[in-house]
Structure 1
Amino acid sequence: MGTVRAVCLSAERGTAKHSVGTAEFVAQHGLRGDAHAGTWHRQVSLLSRGKVEEFRRRGAQAEDGAFGENLLVDGIDFSSLPVGTRFRCGSVELELTQVGKECHRHCAVFARLGDCIMPREGVFARVIRGGTVSAGDELTAELPAPGYRVGIITASDTGARGEREDASGQAVREIAEAAGYAVVSRALLPDDRPLLEAELKRLCDGGIADLVLTTGGTGFSPRDCMPEATLAVAERAVPGIPEAMRRESADVTKRAMLSRAAAAIRGRTLIVNLPGSTKAVRECLGFIIGDLRHGLDILTGRDADCGVTRG
């Protein structure tokens, strides 16, 4: 358990934040009025106060918020926690999505202090449930459940603009968690291929997720590009999974033949494209979710012999 020592905001990215005492956290957005809020995975930044004190003992003048942190907390070493850790503070719930980040030496923080500990010691989170947080509030950390980790990506222009609820992404989450998977990341992005490729690479290359389930962007619309993004980052294709979904879905609707969904492997992570409608997501994921675990056992090395059935 930790104690929030400062709640900080800034109007521009790459600049120091200033302590405001109390701030409103908005679900799937971030802190109201903060430059880093938005529909992405780094909505809130957290930093351990002990790390700042170590920096200050070296003679540096670093006030609260100096490193761009939204929450400065006593009693928790954030850099030691895994992605997927949940933080709770009153009604507010956060999910850790990234540990550290690339250091931009041209940013205002580095220019003023000559160093920045946020890239080494800070973590980032998204807001699961909103509410207010004030200095002096208690913050608790809950480690993710053991098992396979799932990252969810929803591709939707209207959803990314806030004009449509991400019901399909929520359906993926409910099915995955009911099957015993730990959802460690969830992103809502526009139908933009470079953004989708970057998020896929982050989840795979950062060792964040064992399975990435995407929803949306698999149709004939000129903006639909999720299969292209998936295959662009793929090291090995897995055609059998989308073939199975299309085959089973064809018993429900002949329009299943119009799905361009793909599946692929990058490193030790399996990526599977799902449709964009909530109904289709539930059907297609329901067809395959029971058999994905065996594939992940082989991919991650937990079961090296696929020819042996274990009790």
Structure 2
Amino acid sequence: MSTIKAICLSEKKGTQKHTVPAARLVEDWGLEGDAHAGHWHRQVSLLSFEKIEAFRTKGADVAFGAFGENLVVEGYDFRSLPVGTRFQCGDALLEMTQIGKECHTHCAIYQVMGECIMPHEGVFAKVLKGGDIRVGDELVMLPPDPAVRRAAVVTLSDKGAKGERADESGPVLAKLLTEAGYEVVEELLIPDEQSRIQMELIRLSDGRQCHLVLTTGGTGFSPRDVTPEATLAVATRNAPGIAEAIRAYSMTITPRAMLSRGASVIRNGTLIVNLPGSPKAAREGAEYILPALGHGLDILRGTAGECALAFSREKK
């Protein structure tokens, strides 16, 4: 049986969390009274009790809440679970939304120990249904919904990131994805900087475990057009047929399609596809490929049966 070992809150951001014997989970918000709750995907943070204990054996004197975690739970290796895994505690229901997080500023624990486990062992969840929880309550794991396909849209534009130009392509793609049955978990607008593009593609693939990431912009001949280079740099496998199909289809509309350098790749369990920057070309490309992608994504991420098998192994 997996149980809640500690519940931790902080009323103000920038202050260490402290333990409480009980708390209330608020739907689409987080823990009542916690400064980090809100209408976003990282409403509740979870950390395995066993990971904290292992860290303590290295000589670290850390209390519950020191890593910024909301819930310390015994019995689960959260890092090994897929995004989308749900957890039931009484009436409350959580859904895991992200694995790990980037550490922008090294905390006091890192300064002393040279490492901190939260960035790579902690996970985040959103509250699907609210309810009261207490220390000692059982946290029951439920498998992800195999029908859910998560997607993200990344717009690359220097002027757009500066607020000098409205992003029209990103919303077009998000709407098409939603209409095709995808859950669009993030829409980003970032500058044409290769390191930043790579960082976001890695986070969306590994941390958010999106099934599909569509980018728009940065695929031309300009020196600042580095989206294909960033995409290829994060790939674990190539999937060139999709980009080739987009170009071939676009050539039937305009010969300038031959100037597009967009790539399509796989990073672990995520398919990343580059689309042109113009709203019209982005729409045309997405409308052409989306009907055929479902089968490939099912193969890439596994069937419901395989998800259930992984879930049963974790419980053992």
Please show how residues 164-243 of structure 1 align to structure 2 within 5 Å: 167-168=171-172, 170-171=174-175, 173-175=177-179, 177=181, 186=186, 188=188, 190-191=190-191, 192-201=193-202, 208=209, 211-220=211-220, 223-234=224-235, 237-243=238-244
TM-aligned CA deviation for residue 154 of structure 1: 0.7
Instruction: Pick which of 138-147 and 53-62 moved more.
Output: 53-62
TM-aligned CA deviation for residue 177 of structure 1: 3.2
Say which SS state the counterpart of residue 196 (structure 1) adopts.
Answer: helix
The structure-2 alpha-carbon separation of the partners of 1:258 and 1:85, relative to structure 1 and needing over 3 Å to count, comes to farther
Q: Is 1:274–1:281's contact at 8 Å kept on the other side of the alignment?
A: yes
Q: Is 1:101–1:118's contact at 8 Å kept on the other side of the alignment?
A: no
Provide, for residues 255-301 of structure 1, a one-character-per-residue CA deviation record: whole Å limited to 9, x for no partner: 65554322234567543212446665443223123333555677789
RMSD: 5.7
Paired residue for 1:46?
Answer: 46
Separation in structure 2 between the aligned mates of residue 94 and residue 297 of structure 1, nearest angstrom: 21
One-letter code of the match for 2:231? T
Query: TM-score by structure 2 length?
Result: 0.57
The structure-2 alpha-carbon separation of the partners of 1:207 and 1:17, relative to structure 1 and needing over 3 Å to count, comes to closer
Q: What stretches of structure 1 of length at least 5 have no aligned partner?
A: 303-311
Separation in structure 2 between the aligned mates of residue 50 and residue 64 of structure 1, nearest angstrom: 12
Please show how residues 139-150 of structure 1 align to structure 2 within 5 Å: 143-146=143-146
Q: Is 2:25–2:133's contact at 8 Å kept on the other side of the alignment?
A: no
Q: Is 2:152–2:213's contact at 8 Å kept on the other side of the alignment?
A: yes
Q: What stretches of structure 2 of length at least 5 have no aligned partner?
A: 304-316
Provide, for residues 20-59 of structure 1, a one-character-per-residue CA deviation record: whole Å limited to 9, x for no partner: 98999999xxx9965x99x9x8786323568768989999
Paired residue for 1:6?
Answer: 8
Separation in structure 1 between the aligned mates of residue 263 and residue 114 of structure 2, nearest angstrom: 46
Q: Is 1:216–1:276's contact at 8 Å kept on the other side of the alignment?
A: yes
Separation in structure 1 between the aligned mates of residue 242 and residue 213 of structure 2, nearest angstrom: 12
One-letter code of the match for 1:261? G
TM-aligned CA deviation for residue 193 of structure 1: 1.0
The structure-2 alpha-carbon separation of the partners of 1:46 and 1:144, relative to structure 1 and needing over 3 Å to count, comes to same
Separation in structure 2 between the aligned mates of residue 193 and residue 120 of structure 1, nearest angstrom: 23
